[in-house]
Structure 1
């Protein structure tokens, strides 16, 4: 795992050729270190499916190697395929997660050997890589950024799987994140005006973040901090899960069908709330952002609070138009809880150095934040380098999440990054903050 200090991250603009190659090598190593750390366990844990929502960990492990082979070795470098017979098995679009345990997957040791073989050849390609190559797949090292970000995203997925496994001792138990408390008003006013949404300049940005475009937004209020466990517990205590007036119709049907009455992994002992976190039972910390709630729960809470969820445009404008809310410099650990520096959200108010120009805090890290927006293309969207990354998901099926969680690596934690999921999903490290329109 990355030690405290400056966290490696994606380039934010053109880089000197030697420095770019060094940065890519460091990023490749950091991503692989995480993947191997999260799968340093007995074979039973790795091959078992812990939830139909998730793949066996051993599938994720081999999949990141196959993806790296497909894009760096074959697409960019034109190298003869190493294991073409496994391509179909590790194609996420051909086999839903619930089917993957029945596939003849590579075993843990074979998967690790395959990853090592692929990586050795990738480093050879990187050694010969000319940063001046302006082919779209290669410009500014995009293909390397593609596989680095992809691996970090799967690393976060692995952490969600480990949480669902309930196995203690697999994920390190970090010291409690810093706590400084609330020192400012809980809402921030964002004035009306035009702002630039998305990016056309970030070298490793995905197609769904592009192109940059101008949007006008009326004035609005947004919470300075994400909603906390304590605040969410008040919603529960006030009958939030029993009042259909607070719920989207589909959300109310889900509550009734599943009997849900609290965030995933919470348990009531008759006097207080407890949570299971990576196999350990512990009291629910009141001042941490709530996580493991779905969009329907976030939406119901916002209604209960007399507010609403922000649109993704409102969320992004609150960041102030920078790579990160605090500016364009890479995170050092003082601005945000990222990259699994702690295996939990930090208490609200812990990172005043990470505030946006408007004074909104903890927009990046801690928990992914549900927004009110459907996942749709920006004006002028062009699919690249393949339709299945973004285009096939557009429509009114997936809700957008922003900001990244404590498990998200900084390479994918820029303010323009868009995540998306079904509004019913709770296994992800997701929470939310509220907004309201100007009176």
Structure 2
């Protein structure tokens, strides 16, 4: 059985009573499982067991890993149940086997993986009906405070669903997934950037019930004034950088970025190709013209940084991104989401695989932040300038391996850059204004784009 670290002492939002919380948890677990089935039932067993890229696990590994983590945390840790299949635990330990090596493991075949995940889920629903749930801290059962352990598992499954969707994008062959195209953006012109005045704001959270440890604790951050793009950088804007020789000019790149650009042979975003004077992209089995109005997607941190330098700007820091997304200058408080405290709806953001692509830049006016910044949640993960480091007063919870092992070691350069905001592939349960994602700066199979920022000069 796992031995979680002591729970954080910060209070959670007392929004739901026990039965309401139980219903909400059941709904999130079911939504995650419905999506998992869609992603795994849409391909045959050969595609489930194949490794479509060395960067990713076989889909069948993700499927059984989802069930194994659910069994570990909920059935064994919360429920005190005996292990169902302890012999498979090492196979599905993400730290024990790198993704490239997982196809060589004696993994559960597709039918057995489905059966195992289904059996675990049935027992979890039984457990959910037995445990005592209530809003707020619970010193006697910290993993059950606000249903945290169940929320952790719902988020974990949805995060792996996003990972599996990345694998679907990397696979070759006929399209197997469908979704409607996002609506065109409203026609009204938007300012290129918005100004965010100097001053403090509350970053992070002490009150979000299912927030993960790296989002905590809430703390004041005092920032100089800055300007930030109203919308993410579009494909059309990025093509201007390319047409101006952006990939051929070392002065726009850091030394590390230029070395990677040369070694990897980067000359365009991943999945782009040039045919007959036109840029095309491959998207989930379809070859199509690159939509000029969509946010650019599948670029590394180095590419995003080079574009920003070419444009005479820079990437926003993580704190700048969060202030632009959450701070309400009228009330001087930080919201849960750019639009307010209510959960995301389809009018606010492009989330949850509702579409299989970003919406055009300028979409979702109802999701704008108090400063008028749009599409901060959903559409594309946004690279920031910041390294992945802990907040002041950070405490690992409920286990070190979620965040702490990824932080930069003292005296050593950071390996990971922070991404914010979530993509069209992120489920609402795993996305909020405080949520932090991180990855290597060379990664671009992820659904990542960016927006730029600049320092103010004389307040402008």
Normalised TM-score (structure 1): 0.96
Residue equivalent to 1:208: 214
In 1, the alpha carbon distance for the partners of 2:14 and 2:454 equals 35
Residue segments in structure 2 that go unaligned for 5+ positions in a row: 1-11, 328-333, 409-413
Greater than 3 Å deviation, 4+ residue runs = 11-14
Q: 2:233 aligns with which of 227, 238, 243?
A: 227
Distance 2:14 2:249 in 1: 50
Instruction: Give structure 1 stretches of 5+ with no counterpart.
Output: 1-10
- From 325, 343, 349, the counterpart of 2:356: 343
Tell me the equivalent position of 1:5: none
When the two structures are aligned, how many residues end up with a matched partner? 429
C-alpha displacement of 1:22: 0.3
Which of 90, 93, 98 is residue 92 of structure 2 equivalent to? 90
Cα offset for 1:167?
A: 3.0
Query: What residue is the counterpart of 1:326 in the other structure?
Result: 339
The alignment yields a C-alpha RMSD, in angstroms, of 1.1
Instruction: Verify the 8 A CA contact 1:340 1:407 in the aligned structure 2.
Output: yes
The residue number in structure 2 matching 1:8 is: none
Maintained 8 Å contact 1:181/1:347: no
Which position in structure 1 is the counterpart of 2:376? 363
Alpha-carbon shift at residue 12 of structure 1 (Å) = 5.9
Return the offset for 1:182. 5.2
**After the TM superposition, which residues 253-402 of structure 1 pair with which residues of structure 2 at under 5 Å, given as runs?**
253-319=259-325, 320=327, 321-395=334-408, 396-402=414-420
Partner of 1:76: 78
Describe the superposition over 1:381-425 as per-residue Cα deviations: whole angstroms up to 9, x where unpaired.
000111110000001100000000001001111010000000000
User: Are the equivalent residues in 2 in contact too, given 1:12–1:328 (CA < 8 A)?
Assistant: no
Compared CA separation, residues 417 and 12, structure 1 to 2 (3 A)? farther
1:428 and 2:428 aligned: no
Structure 1 residues 70-106: Cα deviation after superposition (integer angstroms, max 9, x where no partner): 0000111100110111000000000000000000000
Separation of aligned partners in 1, 2:30 and 2:224: 44
State the SS of the aligned residue for 2:442. Answer: coil
TM-score (norm 2): 0.92
Aligned with 2:174 (options 161, 168, 176): 168
The answer to which of 252-261 and 360-369 deviates more is 252-261
Residue in 1 aligned with 2:16? 15
Q: Specify the SS of the correspondent of 1:242.
A: coil
Cα drift, residue 176 of structure 1: 3.6
The CA distance in 2 between the partners of 1:209 and 1:252, in whole Å, is 32
The answer to whether the Cα contact below 8 Å between 1:182 and 1:348 also exists between their aligned partners in 2 is: no
CA distance in 1 between counterparts of 2:255 and 2:181 reads 41
Aligned to 1:186: 192
Q: Does 1:126 align with 2:128?
A: yes
**Which range moves more in the overlay, 161-170 or 122-131?**
161-170
Partners in 2 of 1:47 and 1:181 — Cα distance?
46
What is the aligned counterpart of 1:407 among 384, 408, 425? 425
Q: Which residue of 2 aligns with 1:4?
A: none
Contact 2:182 2:358 in 1 (8 A): no
Cα–Cα, structure 1 residues 121 and 180, in superposed 2: closer, same or farther, change >3 Å?
Answer: same
Q: Is the 8 A contact 1:229 1:288 kept in 2?
A: yes
Structure 1 distance, partners of 2:362, 2:440, is 29
For residues 282 and 352 of structure 2, the distance between their equivalents in structure 1, rounded to whole angstroms, comes to 21
CA distance in 2, matches of 1:13, 1:264: 44
Deviating more after overlay: 40-49 vs 416-425: 40-49
Shift in Å, 1:173: 3.7
Give, in angstroms, the shift of residue 177 of structure 1.
3.3
